[in-house]
Amino acid sequence: MAADHQSDHPLAGRRFLKMNGLGNEIVVIDLRGTVFRVRAADARAIARARGSFFDQLMVLHDPVSSGTDAYVRIYNTDGSEAGACGNGTRCVGWAVMSDAEMGQGSDRALVVETKAGRLPITRLSETVFRVDMGPPKLNWQDIPTRDTFFDTSGIELQIGPIDDPILHTPGVVSMGNPHAVFFVDDPYRYDLERFGPLLENHPIFPDRANISLAAVVRPDHIILRVWERGAGLTRACGSGACAALVAAVRRDLAAREATVSLPGGDLIIAWREDDGHVLMTGPTELEHEGRFEASIFGTAG
């Protein structure tokens, strides 16, 4: 009876694509045409299963708003939902435009919707996509922070001794999810795996936060490492790269367009002056496809 119950799980046998954007591990599932919603326990089970580990799980649903091609729910490895994932959104663009079973063929553009709003995706080449991530949110209530900060380009937050802090005064930005960006000389000199969880869960961030260490090498080049909320240390974070550029521009450290170098590779980020939208351009890669075995959901409930 237990095996029969497992085989009835709506995701049992469901096809998935295992992709990455600059090494940011992405799994894409198409649930359009169904009413099923992935539960937090389902997402955790998929992340534990062989062949389907992810940093973010991108789940396609039928469109909610007119003028969009799909509604996308985004899950972290701990089962929590995210409002945005730039690298994952590029992977969704490839899946819908290129994959024979999931896609629409040779279309060059589409619009998906997430909790963060509409995200237009443009195909620039076979594997390179640009996502319009929309305008950043800079007011403390919208990021959000617990405390009132009239200037979020640098807030009062530090790690270490008060007279000699290890990290301090991050810029905070929401790109559909909250980010805190600390500017340092070398992001690789700091134990982000140690500080990341402490800062992600700091009481000042009621919805938790993504934590970034950024070094501005030149106005057009930023080196970045990101501890992602709900996922941990990842090789790339598209929304984090967007937040880093916005935070750097607000501190007069960078130009409005720059290459952001992450452990997994480079993204081109531009913060348009005319409408305030942030554009992210970068590659995608299909690693493999598979189908979920019913057994992985045996403990998901």
* Catalytic member of 237, 243, 254, 262: 237
Measured between its terminal Cα atoms, the distance across the chain in Å is 16
Question: What residues contact 28, with CB distance under 8 A and at least 6 apart?
Answer: 16, 17, 19, 58, 59, 60, 88, 91, 92, 95, 102
* Catalytic member of 49, 57, 85, 280: 85
> What are the b/e assignments for 284-300, b being 16+ CB within 10 Å?
bebeeebebbbebbeeb
Task: Tell me, yes or no, if 91 is annotated catalytic.
Answer: no
| Catalytic residue positions, numbered | 85, 237
